[in-house]
Amino acid sequence: MLAAGRFVLTRLAAVVGVALFVSFVTFFLLRVSRDPVDVVGAARSLDVSSPSVRSELAAELGTDRPLIVQYGDWLSNAVRGELGTSYLDSTDDVAEGIGRALPVNLELVILAQLIALAASIPLGLWAGAREGRWPDKVVTFVATAFVSYPGFALALVLIMVFAVQLDLFPATAAAYVSFFDNPLDNLRQCFLPALSLAVPMIGVYTRVLRSDVAATLREDFIVTARSKGLRSAAILTRHAFRPSSLSLIPMVGLQFGALLGGSILIERLFAFPSGLGTSLTAAAVTADVPVLLGVSTTIAVGFAVVTLIADLVARLADPRIAHG
Amino acid sequence: MADKGSHRLRVAEWVAIIWLAIIGFAAVFGPLLPLQDPTAQGECTTKQPKRELDASGSPVVVDGKYRLIAQPGCDFQKAADDRSAAKPSSAHLLGNDQIGRDLLSRVVAGARTSIFVSVGSVLAALVIGGGIGMVSAYVGGKVDAAVTLFSAAMVALPGLVLAISFVAALGRTMFAVWAALTVGAIPMVALVSRIQSLSLIQREYVVAAKALGATHSRVLLREVLPNLLPFAFVFVGLGFAGAVAAEGGLALIGLSVDQPATSWGAIIGDGKALLETAPHISLIPSVVMFLTIWAATRLTDHLTDRLGVRGSAL
């Protein structure tokens, strides 16, 4: 128990480290390369060539103080959940904006994980149980192809086939409705985006599960189960699946990162009206530091926490890790 | 995954090698190939050195740089319309994009960005990350613990987030994209290099070299480093595949290199709006990108078996 507490504490330190690193790098990169006075001045169509306007604006934004003090300020506010307001629109609260955008990305990530697991668990079991024979070869080949195909490129093919040709799903999610308002429409809008995110994951998970299942099936306790006369299907699902899922669980946790990153692209591609990607890309183009800083740091912290949870689950599933 | 024990290259691996050779050739020698100008929008524009009239009224070449010059008297709009989003033909083997630019030359021009940025970032990440991991394992103690903890946490971070900040700060240049992809890849390389170095450092020959009084740098460079090379090869393959996709993603949302340069992701993004009427614009670069990533993954799988590098290490 003590070991587990220590484990959580060191990992929490890592979460803090990552949050500091990401915000620090983002802050200094952006602030050294561009003067916020120019960005805000242009947004308010002020004459930024006049020194008095510049100094007034710098005083208002607080950019006349040393950079490290400004970073410290941002940090102490961020710890309290205050991420400031957008440079372009001072009524636009960054934290509120994230609160509006995040559900879209979370929904896509969760749907994608569900689709990926629903497809890869049967495929991985099937291929692993027939190691070296044709089902294994076919599944492995397809899985490798899936891993190689970037989700955003796949999304275009899916749009072309299922939206343009067959007209089964909408081609964009511009008319996005929340799941809680209209679950059916929401799922129709989110299916193609989630599927494009899920396909590479199907490849990753299937490959991992397949090789673990194949290895498990060579172990003594499986031979015992077989000699007791258990059917292959029962052996697979009751005896082989759990010990074979030990690499899969941390993998699923790790892929939250890749998926959230991917959802930023996919969400832009399907023209969701709001989302972290929409905020990030717009802020990147206009050098809107508070938005970029807030969104990047939120994502970084979110990930580090999800990975930590995934590790904890993996320890619960496999006591050998905790005691090893 | 090749069959265990069989190290011969099979058809798929040969296809992968030939494809990567073609793409590499296009990336390096693209500008020298007899292709149309990737930025020319119709028959009305030709690429010529800019000329100005001198005092006597005869044209002289200004600076020898080639620029797109519109032909006087040509119906510019009509020429562009004729070729806009045209399907593949004998004059334009892969067709034209939405404003009449030759897709074959654009895909070749895109290869330059995509491949240069990817290869460059993989190599830089290999040197920096590999070095950090190796030294961290060698030094050990608290430094090693901190490096490991930090890298492990950074690995989970989506590279796209940092990449967007880099591009926002440094502008839409090849350098910004390269820097972003490099920083994103370093933690993973550092972790793998550290784990491998850790087991190497305990081997007899390393212990022996230390006992004989070899300097730290000699032990690392002469004893540890050469044995890390198999993992380096595997990382180059996987890292390259990941970088091509990452650059494509950035380009797709308009955050990779700016005009007139282009990349595969940018061309895919260009054609996005025309999926219904001219799907070839998006489809061709995405197939090219897919084949490149597939080829790199396939060869890495083969190499992994061949070098006896355990897949789970990466």
Prediction ipTM score: 0.75
Q: Select the residue of B1, B157, B294 nearest A257 (Cβ to Cβ).
A: B157
Nearest CA in chain B to A141: B1
What's the token pair of residue B18?
């030939």
Which class is domain B4-39+100-313? mainly alpha
The whole-angstrom separation of Cα A215 and Cα A240 is 10
pLDDT of residue B1: 44
| Least Cα separation, residue B314 to chain A (angstroms) | 12
**Quick one: tokens of B202?**
């305990």
Q: How is chain B split into domains, by residue range?
A: 4-39+100-313
Do residues A287 and A42 lie in contact, with contact meaning Cβ atoms separated by under 8 Å? Answer: no
Inter-chain CB proximity A261 and B275 less than 8 Å: no
Of residues B165, B253, B282, nearest to A265 (C-beta): B253
Contacts of A256 in chain B (CB under 8 A): 156
Mean pLDDT of A304-323: 73
| Contact partners, residue A56, CB within 8 Å, separation at least 6 | none
Of residues B308 and B295, the one with the higher pLDDT is B295
pLDDT of residue B313: 42
Average pLDDT on B259-267 reads: 82
Closest CA to A94 of A299, A311, A316: A299
| pLDDT value of residue A112 | 94
Q: What pLDDT shows up at residue B58? A: 66
Tell which wins on pLDDT, B14 or B52.
Answer: B14
CB-nearest partner of A300 from B157, B297, B298? B157
Peptide bond into B260 cis (omega under 30): yes
Find the radius of gyration of the CA atoms of chain B.
Answer: 24
Mean pLDDT of chain B: 77
Q: Name the pLDDT band for B84 (thresholds 50, 70, 90).
A: low
| Dihedral over Cα of B22, B27, B29, B30: its sign | positive
pTM, to two decimals: 0.77
What pLDDT was estimated at residue B5?
47
pLDDT for the residue A17: 82
Q: How confident is the model at residue B47 (pLDDT cuts 50, 70, 90)?
A: low
Tokens of B300: 């890495």
Contacts of A164 in chain B (CB under 8 A): 275-276
Closest-CA distance of chain B to residue A228, Å: 31
Q: Give the type of residue at B112.
A: R
Give chain A positions within 8 Å (CB) of B182: none
At residue B244, the 3 state secondary structure works out as helix
Kind of pairing, strands B59-70 and B45-53?
Answer: antiparallel
- Supply the pLDDT for residue B3: 47
**pLDDT beyond 70 at A321:** no
CA–CA distance, A221 with B158 (Å, rounded to integer): 40
Whether B43 shows a pLDDT value over 70: the answer reads: no
Nearest to B153 among A17, A25, A211 (CB): A17
| pLDDT one-digit tens code per residue, B152-198 | 777 767 777 788 888 888 888 889 889 988 988 888 888 888 888 88
Cβ within 8 Å, pair A33-B166: no
Q: Measuring CA to CA, which residue among A132, A16, A131 is closest to residue A78?
A: A16
In this predicted model, what pLDDT tens digit does every residue of A223-247 receive, in sequence order? 888 788 777 777 777 777 877 777 7
- In chain B, which among 254-293 make CB contacts under 8 A with chain A? 254-255, 265, 268, 272, 275-276, 279, 282-283, 286, 289-290, 293
Domains and CATH numbers, chain A: 100-287 (1.10.3720.10)
